[in-house]
């Protein structure tokens, strides 16, 4: 019986992988080139990390239209699509003998909730866009109507070119700050424990207990596991900071490559 050949994982393979999934915005970067704080670096997620592969999945404009239940269902499907791409890429890398791990968990650190790695900041370092006042990535091609996914892997790979910035994307119009119904945004900061998408993840009877506890910065063994369980069950209660941004409504066809 003829065995199935193992694909050669290189930048051309990655380009074909994303092309087959109609993803036109991605980056391959050296893990050591990302300006992540200690404890939240690619090597903290995967000790053998050499490369981080990031991608942006474009949202439909109507993702946040409909009833709350309809919006939550569409958002869950969108996130599931990102997870499927991450899982496919992770499997391909592992099948070729490399260590690989998707970037998706959240942690309790410094009295707030953070991703194991900050995908918006990593994507900005990789040249995919810049961080807006809504603390989200605004891409040069699709504005802020994107979801981010990433995989960290032990394979060393040539980086993709980083485009030269063509001026500031975020104009600091403050529309996202004014739109937030809970006043969670201020210039340069986001109070996640005011955000409805975070508080809405907690069962109501736990909210008065859990939020002060998490703000305290006290860590107990099950706290991160609990956070990830809550993150997986959350509903989308608000998207005003995203949909109020002028870059949410931009036409990608008007953007340069």
Task: Answer whether residue 93 shows pLDDT above 90.
Answer: yes
What is the C-alpha separation between 32 and 49, in angstroms, rounded?
Answer: 9
Residue-level pLDDT at 31 = 93
Pick from 21-30, 74-83, 183-192, 196-205: least confident: 196-205
Q: How confident is the model at residue 92 (pLDDT cuts 50, 70, 90)?
A: very high
Give a yes or no: residue 186 inside a domain.
no
Task: Answer whether residue 15 shows pLDDT above 60.
Answer: yes
Residue-level pLDDT at 35 = 83
Give a yes or no: residue 181 inside a domain.
no
Task: Answer whether residue 99 shows pLDDT above 90.
Answer: yes
Q: How confident is the model at residue 8 (pLDDT cuts 50, 70, 90)?
A: confident
Give a yes or no: residue 191 inside a domain.
no
Task: Answer whether residue 256 shows pLDDT above 50.
Answer: no
The pairing of beta strand 137-139 with beta strand 129-131 = antiparallel
Give a yes or no: residue 110 inside a domain.
yes
Task: Answer whether residue 235 shows pLDDT above 90.
Answer: no
101 CB-near residues (< 8 Å, 6+ apart): 45, 46, 90, 151, 152, 153
Give a yes or no: residue 62 inside a domain.
yes
Q: How many domains does the chain have?
A: 1
pTM of the model: 0.84
CA dist 136 to 129, 147, 182, 231, Å? 10, 10, 17, 18
What's the whole-number mean pLDDT along residues 186-201?
80
What's the whole-number mean pLDDT along residues 80-84?
94
Q: How confident is the model at residue 118 (pLDDT cuts 50, 70, 90)?
A: confident
Residue 107 contacts residue 113 (beta carbons within 8 Å) = yes
Give a yes or no: residue 57 inside a domain.
yes
Domain that holds residue 103: 11-172+238-250
Residue-level pLDDT at 52 = 96
What is the C-alpha separation between 195 and 183, in angstroms, rounded?
Answer: 8
CA dist 229 to 33, 65, 125, 206, Å? 31, 26, 29, 14
Give a yes or no: residue 159 inside a domain.
yes
With a pLDDT cut of 70, the percent of the chain lying above it is: 75
Give a yes or no: residue 6 inside a domain.
no
């Amino acid at each position: 019986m003829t065995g199935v050949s193992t694909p050669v994982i290189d930048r051309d393979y990655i380009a074909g992988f994303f092309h087959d999934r109609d993803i036109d915005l991605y980056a391959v970067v050296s893990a050591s080139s990302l300006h992540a704080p200690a404890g939240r670096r690619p090597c903290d997620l995967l000790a053998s990390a050499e490369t981080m592969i990031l991608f942006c999945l474009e949202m439909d404009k109507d993702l946040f239209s409909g009833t709350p239940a309809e919006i939550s269902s569409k958002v869950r499907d969108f996130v599931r699509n990102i997870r499927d791409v991450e899982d496919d890429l992770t499997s391909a890398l592992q099948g070729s003998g490399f260590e690989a791990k998707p970037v998706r968990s959240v942690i309790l650190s410094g009295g707030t909730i953070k991703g194991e790695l900050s995908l918006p900041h990593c994507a900005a370092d990789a040249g995919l866009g810049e961080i807006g006042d809504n603390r989200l990535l605004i891409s040069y091609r699709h504005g802020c109507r994107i979801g981010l996914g990433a995989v960290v892997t032990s394979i060393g790979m040539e980086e993709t070119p980083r485009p030269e910035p063509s001026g500031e994307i975020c104009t600091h119009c403050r529309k996202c700050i004014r739109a937030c119904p809970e006043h969670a945004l201020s210039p340069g900061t986001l109070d996640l424990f005011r955000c409805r998408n975070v508080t809405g993840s907690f069962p109501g009877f736990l909210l008065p207990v859990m939020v002060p506890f998490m703000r305290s910065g006290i860590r107990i063994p099950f706290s991160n596991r609990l956070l990830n369980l809550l993150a997986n069950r959350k509903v989308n209660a608000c998207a005003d900071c995203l949909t109020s941004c002028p870059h949410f409504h931009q036409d990608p066809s008007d953007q340069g490559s």
